Amino acid sequence: MSRILVTGSADGLGRAAADSLLSAGHHVVVHARNRERAAALDGLVERGADLVVGDFTERNAVVRVAAELNEGKPLDAVIHNAGVWSGPAVMPVNIVAPYLLTALLRGPRRAVYVSSGAHLSGRPSLSGVDWRGEKPGSYSDSKLFVTTLAAAVARLRPGVLSNAVDPGWVPTKMGGPDAPDDLELGHRTQEWLASSNDARALFTGGYWYHGQLLEPHQAVHDEAFQDRLVRTLAEETDTVF
C-alpha cells in the first residue's frame, strides 16, 4: 500500500479522495490550512490518517509542512488538490505551493496536480503575475501554470510519474450546488494515478479527465514555456526545482 499526501483535504474533492484512498488500505496524509479546518478531518484521523496543518497562502507554512513530512515516513505520491477560485490567494495556493512542495519533498514517485478545464482560457504569459498574492489573480492562468508544471515535472524528473487532472465542474463548495459534473468521477482519476499499478496509470506527462487522456492548452507541452515557468518560480521562491 502507498503513503499518499492529499492537500486541501478538509472538504470537497480532496476529502473524497482521502476517504476513498484510506478505505482502500492506503496510508493517507491529510492536510488542512488551520486547526479549525482540521477538525473536519477528525473522522479520517481516527481511521488512521496522519494530519499536517499549514496555510498555503504563506510560503513559510508550505516549507514547514514539507520539512515535517520529510522527517516522517517517505511519501509515495502527492495529490496537489488544494486550490482557491478567486482573490489574492489564487497564485500562492494554486501554483506557488505545489511548486514548493514539488521542490522540497523527498521521495514521492507520483505527483498528481489538480487542474481545470478553465486552464484552456489561461494566458501563457508570466509577465506581471503577482506570485505573492497582493492582488487578485486569474484562476484560469493559475491552472494553466499548474498544468504546465505537471508536464515540466514529467520531463525534468524522469523517475516521477507526473500528471494533471481536470476533475470537471463538480458540486463542491468551490463548484457550487448546481455544478453539472459527477462528483464521484471527479476524484477517482486522481486516486488511480496516485496509487494504481494498472499500465495506463503508469503514464506520465498527461492531462486527464475522468480516466481519459485529453489534449491540454498548447502551451503546456511547450518546453520553453515550461522552463520559463520553473525558472520564474525558482527565482520567486528562492527554491531550486
Q: Evaluate whether 4 touches 78 at the Cβ level (below 8 Å).
A: yes
How far apart are the C-alpha atoms of 170 and 156, rounded to whole Å? Answer: 32
- The helix (H) or strand (E) run that includes residue 164 is strand 161-166
Q: Is 182 exposed, middle or buried (0-12, 13-18, 19+ CB in 10 A)?
A: middle
- Please tell me the distance from the alpha carbon of residue 197 to that of residue 26, in angstroms, as a whole number: 14
Question: Where in the sequence numbering do the catalytic residues fall?
Answer: 139, 143
Radius of gyration of the chain (CA): 16
Please name the helix (run of DSSP H) or strand (run of DSSP E) that holds residue 154, with its range, or none.
helix 139-156
The closest of 99, 118, 109, 201 to 160, measured between CA atoms, is: 109
For the record, the C-alpha cell of 116 comes out as 481545470
